[in-house]
Structure formats: C-alpha cells, structure tokens
Amino acid sequence: MDKHAYLIAIEAVIAKGKFKDNWQSLSEYEVPAWYKRAKFGIFIHWGVYSVPAFKNEWYPRNMYIQGSDEYKHHIETYGQHKDFGYKDFIPMFKAERFDAAEWAELFLQSGAKYVMPVAEHHDGFQMYKSEVSSFNAYEMGPQRDVLGELKEAFEKRRMTFCVSSHRAEHWFFLSHGKEFESDVKEPLVCGDFYWPSMPEPDHQDLYGSPPTREYLEDWLIRCCELVDAYRPSIFYFDWWIQTEAFKPYLKKFAAYYYNKAMEWGLEVAINYKHEAFHFGTAVPDVERGQFAELKPYFWQTDTAVAKNSWSYTSGNDYKTSVEIIRDLVDIVSKNGSLLLNIGPKADGSIPEEDKQILLEIGDWLKVNGEAIYGTSYWRTFGEGPTLVEEGQFTDGKTKAFTKEDIRFTVKGSCLYAIVLAYPKDGIVKIKSLRKKSHDFQGIIEEISLLGFDEQPIWERTEEALIVKTSTVQSAAPVVIRLTLD
C-alpha cells in the first residue's frame, strides 16, 4: 500500500465532504434511527489469543510479564519465550470449523439485530484481508477473509454488520517481551507483528508515552481501510484512544467515515469510551457496566456472556441467560442498547455454553421482543429497591432484583411494565401507575401479559396499579402490556 497516497485521499474526502475534522462540524452528526430501534447486538472476540485460551484475551501481553500466571503457564506448556513466542500461535489458529453461515443463524436466533466482530485486537493480528500488514487472517492462520465472510452471512440475514478496532493499545501491548530474552526483539519496523512494543504507560498516567506520528498515521490508515473495504454500520473503539495524541486522528477518522457513509447512503455510528469523542459526535459506550438512571441521550453497554474473559477460555465463568435478559431490560429502559459478547474457540466453533445462553435470550425475545425492539424510554425508567451500580466493570456481581423491580418502555399506544423477578403469588404492584400519579394520568384500555394466555385481574388504587395472576410463573422477566386509550 502507498500510505502517503492513502493519507492524501483521506484528506481529500474530508475537504470535499460535509463533515470536517473538527468537533463543531462533527457535532452535526445524528445517531441512526435503526440503531436506536435495534437494542441488542452481538460482539465477537476471536483471534490468535483463542489458541492458548488461558485466563483471557490479554494473554499476548501477560505471557511476557515475568512471574504472571500466563508467563508460568506459557513456559510450562509451550517452552521458553525465545523459542516459542506469541507469533508462533498463528499457524495453530486454523479455524477449521469456522462457518460464517452457522454463526449467523445462531445470532439470528438470539434476536440480535446487529453483529460486531473484533477486526483487530490489541495483539495486532488483523481478522481480515489487508494491504497494510501481512499479519492477517487472509494471509496467515485461517487464510480466509474472516470479516468478509461474516459480513456476507450477516447481511444475507438482514443483520447489520459492524466492526471494532482495539489497535490503539498495540503501541505498548507486547512491550514486556523486551525486558528479558524473548522473541520480541529490535529492530522492529512498521508492518512487523510486534512493532512497536513501546514501554507501557502507567494506567494512572495515560499520557506518559504518546504514540509517534508514524504509529498514529498507520492507525488511521488501518481504520479507514476497514471502512473502505467492509462498509460497517458501526465502528467501535476500545479504550486508550482518549489520550491526547489520538485526538487529531480521531477527528479525521470520524469525518472520513461519516462522509463516506453519506456517499454510500449508509447511516453509521462510532462507539467510544472515556470521553474520547466530544459529546454528541458519536455514541458513548460503558464497558461491562450500566447507568443507574435514565439518560436523555442514546448509549450502549458492552459486556460478555462470561464474567472473567471476552475470549474463549477453558475456565469461563458464565452468567445465566436470565441475568443477561434482566440487564437488557434495564439498559433499554434507560435509553441504551446491549452489545453482548461471545468467544468462539480457535477452531471456529462456538462453545455450547455460549450457544445455550444466546438461544435462551432468543426464546425470550421471540415472545417479548415487542417490549424491546423499536421502543422508547418512558417518563421514568422504572421503580423498585434494587440499586444498579453505575460505571464500567460493575457487572461481576449478580444483581438481586425483586418483585418490586419494574422497568418501563413505550411504543405507540402501548406502555410496557417489565417485572424483572415475577412474584410467585402472582401479585404485582406498580406504584408509578397508581391513581393520581404524577408520572401517569392516562386511561388504561386493556392489560395483558406477553406469552401467557391468562387474562389478569387489575385495579388502580392510590397505592399502585395492582395486577393479579394465578397461573403465571417465570424465572425470566415478565412483560405486562398496557394498551392505552
């Protein structure tokens, strides 16, 4: 690739397009309506790190940290790092059981509306055909354009194709391999798998080791190449792009992506964390966490079926489908969308645990999807005693929702009250819908429960709207549909 020519082409697109590389111009961006309607997507962490399948997807970094569990495991299992380094996993990443159509069918059955494979993780191995580096899945490992096959399979089933880039952190990700005798050795030049392996910044001082112009331009080109080759409808960025050095390049990328999308007639979005983008120019994302309250702006959370890892490992600690469904409901009620990650094995098969969770979520959505898809938030997101901890990395503990924890969504003439833990006695009290409530003064025409034949008995008192059933039992959330006059 002629990188200089590509950079000139990027500038030309920005110069002639509606969006310029400044926050004022990018503030004209609007979140696509399809994204706000979709509510549920699938994230996929799959790459060379799926071969060792130990601890988590940060194995390539941690295996070079002397004394770590990964370091010890690596020596015991594969030998000394100078003889067998991370690059030596690439030939073992064969993906012999990978079937894009099979994956797509599973995700379709899960009820997901958009799907986001990781295009490049921190390790620097590209899961697509690239002209930037030969260290990609088309030329090495599977020797297949994984991203291209997935795009075709998803779009054939009318699921929206998206991508993520975690490339920024590659600046330092393999740097610990330089601290002892390993296969991470100088000279390293642009295009090498281990390049640049610079000293890792203190996580409390993220600006201490700014990337060079060469690295930042390479990063921009990789991102724009993904846009041009695969036309994703969402481009997700992981952390570390919020550091100061990336700011000019983030603005250039956003302007390029938004302008190209307009040219192609696509409605697109960018996901970001940690205030990397100016508010209103892209969609904020909360990693492994939620907001405690309703937000007036659209947002997304990304989390995984496993609590301990984004990628497949032999010891994954799985959530239950009911936990995830409850989180989905809570997130949607607060004007958010859930991006749920699964981790395929190195051979391309999806673990049975991941499959089961997705299918159970899909079964619930087949019955209750009308209270999720295409809905909007109500005056209040919900009620109940259980407090949802706000912020990232808060999803490690199971939330103990009660029969009093109820979430609301609205669509058309219907208001949905979703009971997160349906009471065994069948008596639900919805305080927000009581007589003379400030939140609700509408006229209820009919009340029914999605997925159940029983017609509930109900009355409005000054304490609550009381809904009674005698046969309804469910471990998963139950949707009460109120049809309003």
Which DSSP symbol is given to 212? P
Q: How confident is the model at residue 438 (pLDDT cuts 50, 70, 90)?
A: confident
Q: Give the pLDDT confidence score for residue 440 in this predicted structure.
A: 87
Do the beta carbons of residue 96 and residue 51 sit within 8 Å?
no
Distance CA 173, CA 361 (A): 35
Q: Give the pLDDT confidence score for residue 208 in this predicted structure.
A: 64
Amino acid at 147: L
Cα torsion for 310, 314, 317, 320, to the nearest 10°? Answer: 90
Q: How confident is the model at residue 445 (pLDDT cuts 50, 70, 90)?
A: very high
Do the beta carbons of residue 440 and residue 412 sit within 8 Å?
no
Distance CA 450, CA 445 (A): 16
Q: Give the pLDDT confidence score for residue 342 in this predicted structure.
A: 98
Distance CA 351, CA 103 (A): 11
Measured at the CA of 35, the angle between CA 33 and CA 37, to 5 degrees, comes to 70
Lookup: tokens for 348: 């391309």
Check whether 204 has a pLDDT greater than 90. Answer: no
- Bridge partner list, 342: 44
Distance CA 351, CA 346 (A): 11
Q: How confident is the model at residue 205 (pLDDT cuts 50, 70, 90)?
A: low
Q: Give the pLDDT confidence score for residue 396 in this predicted structure.
A: 86
With a pLDDT cut of 90, the percent of the chain lying above it is 95
> Which domains occur in the chain, in start order?
3-371 (3.20.20.80), 382-484 (2.60.40.1180)
User: Angle, to 10 degrees, between the axis of helix 3-16 and the axis of helix 213-230?
Assistant: 70
- Give the chain's largest Cα–Cα span: 76
Q: What is the pLDDT of residues 24-62, one digit of tens each?
A: 999 999 999 999 999 999 999 999 999 999 999 999 999
Do the beta carbons of residue 373 and residue 332 sit within 8 Å?
no
Q: What is the pLDDT of residues 12-23, one digit of tens each?
A: 999 999 999 999
Lookup: tokens for 466: 């009381």
Look at the pTM and tell me if it is higher than 0.85: yes
Q: Give the pLDDT confidence score for residue 201 in this predicted structure.
A: 86
Q: Give the pLDDT confidence score for residue 12 in this predicted structure.
A: 98
Of 225, 41, 241, the closest CA to residue 122 belongs to 241
Whole-angstrom CA distances from 111 to 158, 215, 233, 355, 447 are 12, 39, 18, 13, 25
Q: Which residues contact 97 (CB under 8 A, 6 or more apart)?
A: 345, 347, 348, 349
Q: What is the pLDDT of residues 388-435, one digit of tens each?
A: 999 999 998 889 999 999 999 999 999 999 999 999 999 999 999 999
